[in-house]
Structure 1
Amino acid sequence: MTTSPIKGNASRHHKRPRGEGQWALGYHEPLNKNEENKKNDDGLNVRQRIIDIYSKRGFDSIDPADLRGRMRWYGLYTQRKPGIDGGKTAILEPEELDDRYFMLRVRIDGGQLSLEQLRVVADLANEYARGTADVTDRQNIQLHWVEIESVPDIWERLEAVGLSTTEACGDTPRVIMGCPLAGIDQDELLDATPQVREIHDRFIGDPAYSNLPRKFKSALSGCPAHCTVHEINDVAFVAVDKDGEKGFDLWVGGGLSTNPMFAKRIGVFVRPDQVADVYGGVIGIFRDYGYRRLRHRARIKFLVNDWGVEKFREVLETEYLKEPLPDGPAPVEPRAHRRDHVGVFPQKDGNFYVGFAPKVGRLDGDRLHLIADLAEKYGSARVRTTVEQKMVILDVAPDQVDGLVAELEANDLKVNPSTFRRQTMACTGIEFCKLAIVETKAAGANLIDELERRLPDFAEPLTINLNGCPNSCARIQVADIGLKGQLVDGKEGFQIHLGGSLGVNPGFGRKVRGLKTTAEDLPDYVERVLRNFESQKKDGERFADWVQRADEGDLS
């Protein structure tokens, strides 16, 4: 079992001046504005103020500490005021960037949706969000243009079908990612759905875990393709087989942003019935020992990196679990380079699943309704989101597959997409995000169209990830071609990272000195590099491996 928050820990350790603001070492006074706001009032408490005050009195009634802080605890961020160019992002004050509308993030733990849930999200998108509905690379759905007056009704209707926005953002345990094929994949080691649900029910919305140093990202899967990208999550449980017993391997401390680190194997074997307790121990360590002084160091990856695996395991076992965990095996290598579950594949029950690729995750309410209608027409009651901004329809009978595929394809929901459609992701970008410097969604869609036209026969696995700022929401450092938004010669453009990868040989992308491109010239640049790759690659060589040996001139 986990320990209660902070109590008892401070008495076991000497206080030290300032330090990193670690509660367990006796320092409880806030060292920055974010910590002060959280100490003054738990983020979970903002819900009632939204219902009772802000939704009735309007945007101007919102306390600034709630507006730019605590409302994130319920998935709400003010979106960017239209017309503010990227050069102003780091210059203007928050109130100058704020629009009077919100992005609202619906958390979809494990990526699991019933048709009823999908239709409710679609209705809310059309009624309150000008039709917007983007699938994210953490399996959520984001709405935009939401007004504060609408939020209570949105919550009521989401919660009536088992969805919520609770702790979809903020310094909290955010959505728990899971394999969209959990329970149906022919080759999965374990169906982790019960563990995802137990973690959600025990920890989400619990005030004991609602004031973490910063955000906390989780993944839990038995997927043989390792689709939940465990290498870059704060905590991840990866299914393994230990001498015939199925369980999980624990990884802690992954994360990207401006200081990327891969998660580290703790080396323990976790039985399925232990997962929630171990999760609570890890999140408890982060709460109590996590760094709170400097915001950019307030992620668990810095603590794990400083402590090392041996100390982290010792503290987990002795202070939080009160029992040792056995050593365990590492996961087997992933079965494929592509982790998105796009295409038609058999389930273990004789039915099929059909994965399809919306362009850079961009959908809308009408298309969500269409997806639900097609799923129902062809016999499915379950739809899933993936961590690659894609979707999957489950439980399609063999004689219904061709009809479903034909209708999805006819509606530009590609089941057999090009590499470029299949493996290009884009973050929200300057259209809505206050941190962004450049536009991403339209740039990504245009890049896909241009590359399909110019390189129609290119079939190698290749990830292209576009991010509007340095924070790497779209995972630029682990993409084959990672594009970090910045101004280039006064125009919107990208710094280029090449050859990032996850899986068998994980590595962060190579940065070639001065390698940048404007958004306008981006298709020309990518085409040029891919033609060089095609002419120089060895048999079976991946793009990421070629990048490591290529001359800089061939990458420019």
Structure 2
Amino acid sequence: MKSFRTELENPVVEQEIIELEKKIRQYLTGELHPDRFKSLRLARGIYGQRQKGVQMIRIKLPQGRLTTAQLKRIADISDEYATGNLHLTTRQDIQLHFVSLERTPELWTKLAMDDLTIREACGNTVRNITGSHLAGVDPNEPFDVTPYADAAFRYFLRNPVCQDMGRKFKIGFSSSEQDEAFAYIHDIGLIPRIQEKDGKLVKGFKVVVGGGLGAQPFTAKLAFEFLPAEDLLPYIEAVLRVFDRYGERTNRHKARMKYLIEKLGMEKFTELVQAEYKGLKAFHVPIEFHEQLEHLPERIEIPPYTISNTEKFQAWLITNVIPQKQTGYRGVYLKITNGNISSDTARKLADLVKSLAADQMRVTNNQGIFIRYVPEQALGYLFTRLDELGLAEPGFDSTADVTSCPGTDTCNLGISNSTGIARMLEQVILQEYPQLIYNKDIKIKISGCMNSCGQHGIATIGFHGASLKAGGKVLPALQVLLGGGPTGHGEGRLAEKITKVPSKRAPQALRLILNDYLKNAQPGETFNAYYDRQGKNYFYNLLKPLTDLTNLQPDDFIDWGQEVEYSTAVGVGECASVVVDLVYVLLNEAEEKLEIADQWLKDGNYGDAVYQAYTASVYAAKALLLDKEVNCNTHIGIINDFDQHFQAAEFDVAPSFASFVLQINQHEPKPDFAEAYLHQAHRFLQKARTYHQQRSIAVADAQETIPS
């Protein structure tokens, strides 16, 4: 592997990149167990693809914020390391595909030159913190949530409380009660509010918890109607500590926080969260609010231009341009098919935006781009230039703007193609229902599997990948769902499953649904209101003729965008790290974590040092339990099981392991406690290693006495 050192200004990032290079080398030479390496690389945004030997790299863009320099940097990197394509995601990230594992340290180094990171973009971590793309320019916002979302991103990045949880954790900030960020499908969703207190106006948030999509979707539950902004980060940290300790770790299909809340109930969950506060680094974390100053061109020159298609321009003005709360400026949306934009187009877009508008764009949660601070007088010229780039198609976030994940193009979990059918359905709308480019009510969303990366679970009309059997063969199919979407105020509807149809019949299914609605809906009746009036069974019967498999054609056995017959080839999911039952690995990782804790203690970072020592102790305890073939699926289970199977006094943690390790929520993380806690954690690990070594020797001796 090429040795690559960086001159990055941030020594933490530099060390992480050097460590990644080291771990890759250890993995390739067989020194590092593949499962532990998988966990490490996922937490660094490196995700295995469907195609063997290449990786997807996920670049974390908090709130989708993206400067023109960053966009050009990513475009250049895609040309050098990937395919020359940038994929915008529904989590407001950018993904690059077909990257060689050995080149990922170099790639990360070049990203870091423009303050971009891949850290914790995948894995069992706090994922990219999403936010309304309108934040700061939204006429309906009580205040700009950008500084608060940014503070949350920085507070939890590399935070030991969320480095290796049982499952991923998602946070979303909306800018208003309209809930543009879909707060209701997040582990923690936030709606900004202002409340009067003691004659002063106080900024805060409505907080909802435990939402999520996937195969079993949940809408979030109310935690607070109003939580003061300075209490937000401590609350999130307390929630993460509970999730880390009580969350499922073996059955990843039941490991999201929504299942923990369902199991405990909101009352018990809240009680556990409150119990964590004493051990937090701070009870209140004031977040400095400052007006977000957009970098605008000092002088805007608009060359002569001619709008050749005035009808398209007028449609674009209606569907893709909105007024900002700042007088004289407009926000402009770019509709990006499948979320894919070429690196060449991205560079030209960056130059155009820098010359006319705010330097910072935002990736939207339907895979588009939002340009901010466009002067009203520049709209015509901007349209002509965007049209030259193929980026001026009207109908952003309309029925004709179909959301889709990559599906079987690159994802291990994809069951059927989502990108090809998305393009086909867009063509159906544009050619047969052109009036629907003005419809912002009906949203079509497609995922390649039930995991809902394409957001089908909250679609007005949704599809997710599936398969059907007919005549001894398997054919690609799509599950049809109807009736989802946000209702505002951090609440929303989940789409209901109607029926499965062969994938090649999806355009027919869409036509049946739209024709029925356009013919029978009452004036002004939204699709979801019409769906409620007619009922699920009505739509099942409407689509039932398409489920008949007695008249299949050869083309039905070929998925969209493919030339050969369909076959199911679902791989192992890479959404989270796996549980590795290797005693020596866990003991080594416990030691590594304690080394980090020691450094943090030395630096005066007492809260993080204590939590890291807690995690190290749990790892060591789990190692000894696994050595006795006792499997545990939660941190609290490990703690309780250790006391059942071992004598605490033998490990210097009398009266119990629980009494030692759970001191983290009984003491404030002050210097004396932190030093004593780390000292005890080191003694526990030392005793654990000694126990394991003695047990290994005893087992080896016993095996030698067994006749061959």
Which TM class, normalised by the smaller chain length? 0.7 to 0.9
Whether the aligned pair in 1 keeps the contact of 2:27 and 2:34 (CA below 8 Å) is no
- State how far apart, in whole Å, the 2-side matches of 1:426 and 1:200 are: 26
Shift of 1:547: 1.9
1:497 aligns with 2:481: yes
Q: Which moved more, 1:316-325 or 1:462-471?
A: 316-325
1: CA distance, partners of 2:467 / 2:423 = 20
Are 2:448 and 1:468 aligned? yes
Which residue type is aligned with residue 100 of structure 2? E
Which among 338, 343, 349 is matched to residue 320 of structure 2?
343
SS in structure 1 of the partner of residue 504 of structure 2: coil
Which of the pair is proportionally richer in helix?
2
- The Cα offsets for residues 61-114 of structure 1, whole Å up to 9 and x where unpaired, read as 874214543211011111112xxxxxxxxxxxxxxxxx1000000010011111
* Distance in 1 separating the partners of 2:123 and 2:319: 31
Q: Distance in 1 between matches of 2:168 and 2:205?
A: 23
CA distance in 1, matches of 2:150, 2:278: 20
Question: Kindly, what percent of the aligned residue pairs are identical?
Answer: 28
Kept in 1, the 8 Å contact 2:481–2:495? The answer is yes
User: How far apart are 1:418 and its partner, in Å?
Assistant: 6.7
CA distance in 1, matches of 2:191, 2:494: 21
Shift of the alpha carbon at 1:255?
0.5
Q: Secondary structure at the match of 2:409?
A: coil
CA contact under 8 A between 1:438 and 1:468: conserved in structure 2?
yes
Q: In the alignment, what sits opposite 2:213? A: 256
In structure 2, relative to structure 1, the CA distance for the partners of 1:535 and 1:49 (3 Å cut) is same
Q: TM-score, normalised by structure 1?
A: 0.81
Structure 1 position 166 matched with structure 2 position 119 = yes
**Aligned match of 1:417:** 395
Distance 2:344 2:319 in 1: 22
- Residue 512 of structure 2, aligned match among 507, 513, 528: 528
Structure 2 runs not aligned, ≥5 long = 1-13, 285-317, 545-708
Task: Report Cα offsets for 1:305-352 as digits up to 9, x if no partner.
Answer: 233333333332343268999xxxxxxxxxxxxxxx972122233222
Post-superposition shift, 1:292? 2.2
Amino acid at match of 1:297: K
User: Which moved further from structure 2: 212-221 or 497-506?
Assistant: 497-506
Correspondence list, 1:18-167, <5 A? 48-52=18-22, 54=24, 63-66=33-36, 68-81=38-51, 99-167=52-120
Q: Please tell me whether residue 289 in structure 1 is matched to residue 243 in structure 2.
A: no
Q: How does 1:141-220 map to 2 (within 5 A)?
A: 141-220=94-173
| Aligned residue pair count | 479
Distance 1:499 1:528 in 2: 15
For 2:224 and 2:321, how far apart are their aligned partners in 1? 35
Superposition pairs of residues 344-493 of structure 1, within 5 angstroms:
344-350=321-327, 351-414=329-392, 416-417=394-395, 422-458=400-436, 459-460=438-439, 461-488=441-468, 489=470, 490-493=474-477
- Residue 203 of structure 2 aligns with which residue? 246
CA contact 2:457–2:481 (8 Å) conserved in 1: yes
Letter in 1 for 2:357: G
| Whole-angstrom CA distance in 2 between matches of 1:158 and 1:429 | 26
Q: How much has 1:415 moved relative to structure 2?
A: 5.5
Q: Which amino acid is the alignment partner of residue 554 of structure 1?
A: L
Provide, for residues 474-500 of structure 1, a one-character-per-residue CA deviation record: whole Å limited to 9, x for no partner: 121211111110123422220111112
How far residue 56 of structure 1 moved from its aligned partner, in angstroms, is 10
User: Are the equivalent residues in 2 in contact too, given 1:354–1:405 (CA < 8 A)?
Assistant: no
Instruction: State the SS of the aligned residue for 1:502.
Output: strand
CA distance in 2, matches of 1:57, 1:305: 39
Residue pair 1:115, 1:372 contacting (<8 A) in 2 also: yes
- Residue 454 of structure 1, CA deviation: 1.6
* Offset from partner CA, 1:418-477 (integer Å, 9 cap, x none): 765654111110110011111111221122112211222234321111111111111212
- Counterpart-to-counterpart distance in 1, 2:275 and 2:492: 32
The code of the aligned residue for 1:159 comes to A
More strand by share: 1
Separation in structure 2 between the aligned mates of residue 61 and residue 353 of structure 1, nearest angstrom: 52
Distance 1:487 1:445, change over 3 A: same
Within 5 Å, give how 1:272-283 maps onto structure 2: 272-283=229-240
Provide the C-alpha distance between the structure 2 equivalents of 1:314 and 1:415, rounded to a whole number of angstroms: 51
Residue 159 to residue 418, structure 1, CA distance change in 2 (3 Å): closer
Q: Mark the CA change 1:518 to 1:404 in structure 2 (over 3 Å): closer, same or farther.
A: same
- Distance (whole Å) between structure 2 residues aligned to residue 321 and residue 542 of structure 1: 49
Q: Which runs of 5+ in 1 are unaligned?
A: 1-43, 82-98, 326-340
1:509 counterpart letter in structure 2:
A
> Is the Cα–Cα contact under 8 Å of residues 400 and 430 in structure 2 kept in the other structure?
no
Match of 2:494 in 1: 508
User: Which letter maps to 2:34?
Assistant: P
Shift of 1:229: 0.4
Report how far residue 390 of structure 1 moved: 1.0
Q: For 1:74, what is the secondary structure of its paired residue?
A: coil
State the partner residue of 1:315.
Answer: 272
Q: Distance in 2 between matches of 1:321 and 1:250?
A: 21
Aligned to 2:692: none
Amino acid at match of 1:258: A
